[in-house]
Structure 1
Amino acid sequence: MAIHVEVLRLGRVSQEVLDAIVAGLEDAYQGLVSAFISPHELEVPGEAYDRRRYQYNSSVVLAFLRRSFTPKGDKLLAVTHVDLFVPRLNFVFGQAECPGRFAIVSTCRLRPEFYGEPPHQALFLERCVKEAVHEVGH
């Protein structure tokens, strides 16, 4: 029986990224995961922003999702454009409840441009899929 993963846009995320993640999850888990794009969209909660770090605390974002959203699937994977961190780490690419239903992935540091490299859309999408597969795997 497949696990149903709802992929939620959280902020500015392109349809291309969401489509790649859905296809990548289903391909990686070969029948164990059925993924779909949520018809809903949410904004990144301002309460998660840390002005000293210019980043968003991913634990606060996950708590916001738990309070604010009831997933239609077994798991919810939120995809966001903002830079994430957890205390004691400089940044995270994503975070998942383990065990739990909620996970988040940030596309911010997955773009080659973040590191001063030229844009490379195929590489960016590949990184998005790999991070999504990792977080859903928790």
Structure 2
Amino acid sequence: MTRDEVIAKWNGMQPRERDAWVATDVMEWKQGVDYDLVDDMENGIARYEPFSTDVRTFNPSAYISDAWEVIEKISSLKEWMLYRIGHSDVDGELKYECTFLEVYRGVSTFARSKNASEAICLAALIATQGEGIEE
């Protein structure tokens, strides 16, 4: 996927769908192995029933402590490292920015969002979604 395709997919998702995407594609948790999707008949909604980490409460797009787990995962990959987390003024609006650097190629990928947690998740997805990611 390209950077623009990742951003478009992200923008079309609900928050829980975003968190599930991060869980499967960044954290590399496998449905049916690390977690499973089951029906919660008591509440009438689908929820995650994890085997190891509680994906149901893993909410990296909203909670910075969960987003930090995403940073740790990206940093555990030999080619990626966290370069910068900060904020900037974009057209008069404060946006948080996360930048990861691919060490061997010297390529950086970044994302901006309304909160730091979302910026981290989106940058991680952009970094891990394969070739064709360019700024």
Tell me if TM exceeds 0.5.
Answer: no
Q: TM-score, normalised on structure 2? A: 0.26
> Over alpha carbons, which structure has the higher Rg?
2
